[in-house]
Each structure stands twice: as structure tokens, then as C-alpha cells.
Amino acid sequence: MTKSNKYKQIFEDLSEKIQDGTYKTNSILPSENELTLIYSTSRETIRKALTLLAQKGLIQKLRGKGSLVLDVSRMDFPISGLVSFKELQTSMGRDDIETTVHEFGLINADKHLGSIFDVSDDTEIWNVVRSRRIQGERIILDKSYFLKSEVPLLTKEICENSIYEYLESKLGLPIDFAKKEIIVEECKEEDRRYLDLDEYDHVVVVRNYVHLKNAALFEYTESRHRLDKFRFVDFARRKH
Amino acid sequence: MTKSNKYKQIFEDLSEKIQDGTYKTNSILPSENELTLIYSTSRETIRKALTLLAQKGLIQKLRGKGSLVLDVSRMDFPISGLVSFKELQTSMGRDDIETTVHEFGLINADKHLGSIFDVSDDTEIWNVVRSRRIQGERIILDKSYFLKSEVPLLTKEICENSIYEYLESKLGLPIDFAKKEIIVEECKEEDRRYLDLDEYDHVVVVRNYVHLKNAALFEYTESRHRLDKFRFVDFARRKH
DNA sequence: AAGTGGTCTAGACCACAAA
DNA sequence: TTGTGGTCTAGACCACTTC
């Protein structure tokens, strides 16, 4: 195990055993008391692991009964949360996605970007415009902006692969939370230029605001999708 | 306080104090140890309450520093999770929304509904079709289905107001989690009949699958929105 | 009555941030 | 060094389900 936290180790172990069928769909996991013996730990630690499993949608806790293993195969990719394009790609088993970088470089914030990032004008910002070709058609246009102060170095090569892998693994940026907004807009000139729009005159626009652990916005990405190929899945648990 | 759980009471109390400005944006909450004294409870209970606040996006926990109060005014209504139309209405300060019930009654599940609910054909299901008129225009078409076994009684009057208020407050249904799917579809005949579509030939379709605490699907709703009025906001926190 | 998960306690040690 | 949040423990009592 690589993780240091005991409850995360237990979470990952149970997660694997559910995915590989050791614990089968619609069966009940060993009780919390049994799990304390299996993993030689306290019950609260077991409960932390089970809470994670429930939040991830792998189990359903039933008071008085036990923890029910849910149908994993039915779950679509959970975009809710932060997901890079590369993750999406692999989780959907697609290898036929091509990324083309159309614009890449440093720009100075204008009024619009300045107000989004809450920084003064002429703050340096990375500007990346990419299109995604899926099964031969250019379907998605991604316009990304990163604060240079948080991302000192970026290259075109990195943008052609997964920027997030670079940001998180290499740079170790403490990404914490994101706000997504989904609306539909009329096609603009840039959509017609970079996408195969066919007859469609609207695009689905996903605006993504990504914050670091210090609560500062460090990335803003606008993802423009052709109508017919857009799909968003959200798995949400009832609060309180 | 009405809630029985201590950590929920504390969560609600802190939540109010943040929203009414007792604890100001960008300030630090009293430390966990101080809160144990304020609320006369153990630290783990305080931490449960703070975890809820963090999940709701009201605070940001910073190791070694404290719990930072986030800017509440910036947050849009968090749809992520379960939101009834009525909730949306009030949270956005709109009183000019009219609901019209077009279809209401019991039907027997066909193949399609049967597979969605995972019940045998001819299981009894409530069928409710409603349109939402906002500022004079019919913008949203809601097609809802409820398992009769879980919702014994439903009336047209209830459907004209908030079904969810009825289900949760009156019936006390233990609603637990929901899966949302958002896609774009071409307009169908029912869209043209019940909505003011103007020139639009597509609608945004939100499919909502709502489960009870026993993990059974009890509601399926298809919400069909006119393109130009659709908006979805999601506030997501990084997992582990 | 027995077993399950839900809540709560009073401690302990650790990792991190700031002075 | 001090104070913060993060993790972990061993026990307790409660609410619910099943028998």
C-alpha cells in the first residue's frame, strides 16, 4: 500500500474487492465489528472507510442491516468533482481521442479575465486553446486559463497530453474544489473554426472554476461541446 | 432546535452565523478546541459539523491554520444534490413561476419504465406531466414517475405545489441519493405541445434518478428545458 | 433478544503553519 | 515552540432490523 492513512488503505482495499467481485453486487459486506477484526483497527476508522465507499457510490449503508454492495457496472463515469479529459478518456476506454493545440502562450489579463480570477489587469496568465477529435470528428473546444503565479512553466507538449497530470503529479498543486456551470450558447466564430459543427447552431458550454487548497482560483476553463455529443453525469448524495 | 443530532445542530448554528455575518467572509472560525467549549461537546462531534460545512462549501479547512469562512454570496444555488423546483424558485427569489399539470394519474409500468425502476411490468406508477411557466413563457416540461408502493397517495393539488415537500415533510420518505444525467435531444412532439419553443429545435434533458435509503429507485423524472434558459451549477470538492 | 449501523466521548499522537 | 487541523483508539449508548 502506498497511502499512509489507514482508513484510505482500507477504503482502497474494499474498493478493489468490490470491483473484482470478491464482494458481490447485492451482497452485504462484513459488519463494522467484523471489519475491525479483519483490519485490526477501531470501529471509527472502519466507519471512515465505509463512509468513503458510500460517498463514491459503491455501497449503501443500511441501519440495522449492514452495508449493501451496489451495482458498480451501472455507474457512469462520475464527472462530478474534478476530472481531467485524460481521466475521462481512460475511464471510458477510449483511445481514439486526438488533442490539437491551437493557441498556446502567456497573455495579460484583460478586464474579463481579471474579474474572473480577481486579479489586477496585466497579471500574467497562460492561455491554451485546444480541440478534441473523437472518432474523427472535432467535438470539443477547450479554452483554458491558468495563473502564471501558480503554474510557472507550461509547454505545448504538456498541453497535448494531460495538463492535470502535470499539475498534480509533477507540480504537486493542492487542487481542492471546483465550481461547474453548464449552459447552452449560440455558436461563435471560434466554434465554427475549430469544431465540426455540422448543422448545429448551438454549443453546450461548461465553465469550470478550479480552486487550490488556499481557496484561490487558479484555473478557469471553458469547454464547448457539440450538442449531440454532450453528456454529463452527476452522482449526488443527500446532504444532512 | 428541531434536529436530534448534536453535530447537525452545531452545523446549522454555525451555518446561520456564517450566513448572517456573525462569522465574516475570510475570517477564521474559532478553533476546534474552542468550539468544544462553546458547544460543550467532544472534538470529534465538532469535526463532524465542520466537515458538513466544508462539504457544503461554507468553510475551507486549512491544516495548521484554522477553518476559513468562504464567500457565501458568490456561490450560486447548489443544485448538485437534490433540489426540487420549489426550492430553486425560492432560493433564486422568483415568485413568478406557474406550474400547470397536464397529465396526472396511475399507470402500469411498460417495458421502458419497468427496466428503469427494475420492477415487473404492470407495477403501479404515478405519472405526472407538468410544465413550468417562468415570466410568461413555458420553459420547462417535467415528466415524473413515482412508485405507488412508496407513494400511496398523490393528488393533483400536491403536484401543483412542491411534490418534494409533500414526500419529505408529510410522508417522511427517507430520500438518500440521486443520479443526474444531462444531455441534449431533438424536440419531440410533447415539447412543442407543452412548451414555448420559439425557434429552438433542441431541448436540454435532465434525467433524475432518486433513491431511498434502502437503495431502491422510487422516482424517475425527466426535465426538459428550453435551450436558452437552461443553467446548471455544480459545486464539487476534491475526493480524498 | 441479538445484531446492525449512528452517534458521542475523552483521551492520544501526528503533520503542518506561524511566531 | 505553540496552536492548528488530521488521524486513531476503546469504549459507551441509541435506533433500527431481524429473528
Q: Which residue's C-alpha is at the least distance from the C1' of C16? A: B64
How far, in Å, CA of A204 to CA of A227, rounded? 6
Of B206, B208, B204, B182, whose CA–CA distance to B116 is shortest? B208
- Cβ <8 Å between B182 and A237: no
Q: Tell me, what's the pLDDT at B94?
A: 45
The integer distance in angstroms from the CA atom of A69 to the C1' atom of C15 is: 34
Which CATH number does A6-69 carry?
Answer: 1.10.10.10
Task: Give the integer Cα–Cα distance in Å for B61 and B63.
Answer: 6
A90 touches chain B (CB under 8 A): no
> Which H helix or E strand runs over A111?
helix A111-117
pLDDT of residue A28: 92
Query: Would B6-69 and B85-229 be classified into the same CATH topology?
Result: no
| Confidence at A99, pLDDT banded by 50, 70, 90 | confident
What's the CA gap between B120 and A194, in Å, rounded?
48
Domain A85-229 CATH (choose: 3.40.50.720, 3.40.50.300, 3.20.20.150, 3.40.1410.10):
3.40.1410.10
Task: Write the DSSP symbol of residue A91.
Answer: H
Q: What is the pLDDT of residue A39?
A: 94
Residue A173 has pLDDT above 80, yes or no: no
Closest-CA distance, B84 to chain A, in angstroms, reads 12
Predicted pLDDT of residue A21 = 85
Question: Please, what's the b/e burial string for A63-92 (b: 16 or more CB within 10 A of its CB; e: otherwise)?
Answer: eeebbbbbeeeeeebbbbbbbbbeeebeee
CA of B5: nearest nucleotide by C1' is C7
Cell numbers at A115, concatenated = 474579474
In degrees and rounded to multiples of 5, residue A238 shows phi and psi of -60, 135
The pTM assigned to this predicted structure is: 0.70
Q: Above pLDDT 70, what percent of chain B?
A: 81
CA distance A146 to A81: 19
Convert the pLDDT of each residue in A144-169 to its tens digit.
999 888 888 889 988 887 777 777 66
pLDDT along chain B (240 residues), means of 10: 73 87 90 94 94 82 88 47 44 62 92 80 89 84 89 87 73 71 91 93 89 76 89 59
Q: Which of A177, A215, A227 sits opposite B202 (nearest CB)?
A: A227
Is there a contact between B57 and A177 if contact means CB atoms under 8 Å apart? yes
Q: Where are the domains of chain B?
A: 6-69, 85-229
Nucleic acid strand D within 7 Å of B63 CB = yes
Q: How far is CA A5 from CA A31, A46, B61, B116, in A?
A: 21, 12, 18, 39
pLDDT at A239: 38
3-class secondary structure per residue, B24-56: CCCCECCCHHHHHHHCCCCHHHHHHHHHHHHHC
What confidence category does residue A115 fall into, taking pLDDT thresholds of 50, 70 and 90? confident
